[in-house]
Amino acid sequence: MDARQIMTADEMRRAIVRVSHEIVERQAGTEGLVLIGIQRRGVPLATRIAAAIGEHEGVGLPVGALDITFYRDDLSLVAQQPIVKGTAIPVDLNDRTVVLVDDVLYTGRTIRAAMDALVDFGRPRAIRLAVLVDRGHRELPIRADHVGKNVPTSRDELVKVHFVETDGEDAVWIERREGAA
Amino acid sequence: MSGPGATAPAAPVGPSGPDAEAAWTQKHLLDVDVLSAAEIGLVMKTTDAMKEILARPITKVPALRGRNVTIIFYEASTRTRVSFEVAAKNLSADVVNIAASASSVSKGESLVDTIRTIEALGAHMIVMRHGTSGAPYLAAEVFSGSVLNGGDGWHAHPSQALLDLYTMRAHLGDLRGRKVVILGDVLHSRVARSNVWTLTAMGADLWICGPTPILRGFDAWAARWANGRGPNGHGGFTVTSDVDAALDGADVVMALRLQRERMDAGLLPSLREYAARFGLTRERLAAAKPDALVMHPGPMNEGVEIAADVAVLDRSVITEQVANGVAVRMALLYLLSGVHGGWHPEGGIGG
Distance of alpha carbon A85 from the chain centroid? 15
Q: What integer pLDDT is reported at residue B227 of this predicted model? A: 53
Out of A57, A70, A77, closest to residue B342 by CB: A77
Nearest-by-CA chain B residue for A9: B1
Q: Region B103-129: what's the mean pLDDT?
A: 92
Structural domains in chain A (count): 1
Out of B13, B63, B349, closest to residue A110 by CB: B349
Residue from A30, A69, A84 to probe the interface with B (highest B Cβ count within 10 Å): A84
- Please judge whether A71 and B62 are an interchain contact, meaning their C-beta atoms are less than 8 angstroms apart: yes
Q: List the alpha helices (DSSP H) in A122-167.
A: 164-167
Residues from chain B that touch A73, judged by Cβ atoms under 8 A, are 349
Instruction: Establish if A84 belongs to a structural domain.
Output: no
More confident: B266 or B177: B177
Q: Region A138-166: what's the mean pLDDT?
A: 96
Instruction: Establish if A89 belongs to a structural domain.
Output: no
Share of chain A above pLDDT 70, in %: 98
- Please judge whether B1 and A88 are an interchain contact, meaning their C-beta atoms are less than 8 angstroms apart: no
Instruction: Establish if A119 belongs to a structural domain.
Output: yes
pLDDT beyond 90 at A112: yes
CA distance A105 to chain B (A): 5
CATH number where A9 lies = 3.40.50.2020
Q: What integer pLDDT is reported at residue B311 of this predicted model? A: 95
CA distance A110 to chain B (A): 5
pLDDT beyond 60 at B347: no
pLDDT beyond 90 at A143: yes
Cα separation of the two ends of chain A: 11
CA distance A102 to chain B (A): 9
- Please judge whether A61 and B7 are an interchain contact, meaning their C-beta atoms are less than 8 angstroms apart: yes
Strands A171-176 and A3-7: antiparallel
- Please judge whether B344 and A67 are an interchain contact, meaning their C-beta atoms are less than 8 angstroms apart: no
Residues from chain B that touch A59, judged by Cβ atoms under 8 A, are 4-5
Q: Using H for helix, E for strand and C for coil, what is the string for chain B?
A: CCCCCCCCCCCCCCCCCCCCCCCCCCCCECCCCCCCHHHHHHHHHHHHHHHHHHCCCCCCCCCCCCCEEEEEECCCCCHHHHHHHHHHHHCCCEEEEEEHHHCHHHHCCCHHHHHHHHHHCCCCEEEEEECCCCHHHHHHHHCCCEEEEEEECCCECHHHHHHHHHHHHHHHCCCCCCEEEEECCCCCCHHHHHHHHHHHHCCCEEEEECCHHHCCCHHHHHHHCHHHCCCCCCCEEEEECCHHHHHCCCCEEEECCCCHHHCCCCCCCCHHHHHHHHCECHHHHCCCCCCCEEECCCCCCECCCECHHHHCCCCECHHHHHHHHHHHHHHHHHHHHCCCCCCCCCCCCCC
Q: Region B305-310: what's the mean pLDDT?
A: 96
Instruction: Establish if A87 belongs to a structural domain.
Output: no
CA distance B347 to chain A (A): 6
Residues from chain A that touch B335, judged by Cβ atoms under 8 A, are 81
* pTM (two decimals): 0.89
- Split at pLDDT 50, 70, 90, the class of B1 is very low
> What pLDDT digit, counting tens, does each position of B258-295 carry?
987 666 667 787 888 899 999 999 999 999 999 999 99
Instruction: Establish if A79 belongs to a structural domain.
Output: no
> Domains, chain B, ranges and CATH?
37-157+324-337 (3.40.50.1370), 159-318 (3.40.50.1370)
- Which residues numbered 10-49 in A keep a CB inside 8 Å of some CB on B? 13, 16, 37, 43, 46-48
Instruction: Establish if A85 belongs to a structural domain.
Output: no
**Does any CB of chain B come closer than 8 Å to the CB of residue A156?**
no
Domain interval for residue A169:
3-73+98-176
Out of B5, B347, B351, closest to residue A60 by CB: B5
Q: What integer pLDDT is reported at residue B262 of this predicted model? A: 63
pLDDT beyond 60 at B345: no
Count Cβ–Cβ pairs < 8 Å, chain A vs chain B. Answer: 156
> What pLDDT digit, counting tens, does each position of B17-66 carry?
444 456 888 999 999 999 988 999 999 999 999 999 999 999 999 999 99
Q: What integer pLDDT is reported at residue B231 of this predicted model? A: 55
Q: What integer pLDDT is reported at residue B218 of this predicted model? A: 85
- Which residues numbered 85-114 in A keep a CB inside 8 Å of some CB on B? 85-88, 90, 104-110, 113
Out of A69, A88, A120, closest to residue B10 by CB: A88
- Please judge whether B348 and A78 are an interchain contact, meaning their C-beta atoms are less than 8 angstroms apart: yes
Residues from chain B that touch A122, judged by Cβ atoms under 8 A, are 57
Number of Cβ within a 10 Å radius of residue B169:
20
Q: Region A24-41: what's the mean pLDDT?
A: 94
> What pLDDT digit, counting tens, does each position of B205-251 carry?
999 999 998 898 888 777 776 555 555 556 788 999 999 999 999 99
- Evaluate whether ipTM surpasses 0.90: no
- Split at pLDDT 50, 70, 90, the class of B201 is confident
> What pLDDT digit, counting tens, does each position of A39-62 carry?
999 999 999 999 999 999 999 999
Share of chain B above pLDDT 90, in %: 69
Instruction: Establish if A81 belongs to a structural domain.
Output: no
Nearest-by-CA chain B residue for A114: B351
Q: What integer pLDDT is reported at residue B89 of this predicted model? A: 98
- Split at pLDDT 50, 70, 90, the class of B316 is very high
